[in-house]
């Protein structure tokens, strides 16, 4: 069944989401997006930021908060389905909207939107992080496919690529 999604124009709900984001995260004159495959430490890095308000937001959390992604499709993807395509098109839209709003987003959810930087960590270290999640063979293959796709994206579009989240963040914040 198709995941029927309608953009919400409920002013009260929109204000509530904006208020929540403003309370937890800083906004900047220039927003950025960093992509990295699952299990590179994005959520860990984001949750360990100093200060009352965080400078960088977890793309997964943000996309769930704005209802751009359906958790059921996200957790059990069928890559060739219309739902999958629609979900990740909404992820692109939501993240681009956040970038325009001045948010700095670290994510692994994308369809065709190009990021400002890409993180691909050392393969040995990445495999250690992956094992901590008790992954299936399918999820491991998906993570390696995402890394390959991100590598190709970086080469094709000349997107800066980094070995750590810290290095990508420093680069963008000093740009």
pLDDT digits (tens, 9 = 90+) for 4-56: 555 666 778 778 888 889 999 999 999 999 999 999 999 999 999 999 999 99
Confidence of residue 133 (pLDDT cuts 50, 70, 90): confident
Element (H, E) at 36: strand 32-36
CA angle 39, 42, 48 (to 5 degrees): 130
| pLDDT of 93 | 92
- Considering the segment(s) 22-173 as one domain, its CATH architecture is 3-Layer(aba) Sandwich (3.40)
The model's pTM is 0.90
- Rounded to whole angstroms, the Cα distance separating 103 from 98 reads 5
Per-residue pLDDT of 88-114, as tens digits, reads 899 999 999 999 999 999 999 999 999
Give the SS3 label for residue 118.
strand
CA angle 174, 129, 163 (to 5 degrees): 30
């Amino acid at each position: 069944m198709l995941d029927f999604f309608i953009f919400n124009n409920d002013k009260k709900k929109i204000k509530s989401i904006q208020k929540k984001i403003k309370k937890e995260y800083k906004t900047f004159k220039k927003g950025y997006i960093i992509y990295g495959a699952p299990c590179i430490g994005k959520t860990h890095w984001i949750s360990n930021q100093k200060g009352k308000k965080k400078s960088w937001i977890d793309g997964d959390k943000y996309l769930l908060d704005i209802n751009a992604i359906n958790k059921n499709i996200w957790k059990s993807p069928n890559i060739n389905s219309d739902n999958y395509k629609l979900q990740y098109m909404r992820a692109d839209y939501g993240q681009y909207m956040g970038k325009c709003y001045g948010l700095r987003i670290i994510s692994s959810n994308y369809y065709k939107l190009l990021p400002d930087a890409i993180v691909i960590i050392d393969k040995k270290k990445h495999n250690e992080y992956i094992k901590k999640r008790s992954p299936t063979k399918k999820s491991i293959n998906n993570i390696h496919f995402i890394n390959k796709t991100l590598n190709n994206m970086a080469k094709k579009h000349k997107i800066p690529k980094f070995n750590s989240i810290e290095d990508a963040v420093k680069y963008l914040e000093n740009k």
